[in-house]
Amino acid sequence: MIEFLMSKNVTYLELFYIFLGVVLSKVYLALRGRKHAKRDV
């Protein structure tokens, strides 16, 4: 897996940003879902 990433020239910084983006998007969706749930109630 690491060799594959190296061949693609993907740096750890890029991987970090991708991971961060995924986490933030999930948190954003979760918070937005909570707001909608509260509105329904």
Determine the length of the chain. Answer: 41
Please report, for the chain, the start and end positions of each structural domain, with discontinuous segments joined by +.
Answer: 2-40
> According to the model, what pLDDT value does residue 39 have?
66
Entry pTM: 0.53
pLDDT of amino acid 28: 94
How far, in Å, CA of 39 to CA of 41, rounded?
5
Query: pLDDT tens digit string along 1-41?
Result: 667 656 666 788 888 999 999 999 999 999 998 887 776 65
Cα 12 to chain centroid, rounded: 15
The pLDDT of residue 29: 93
What's residue 7's pLDDT? 66
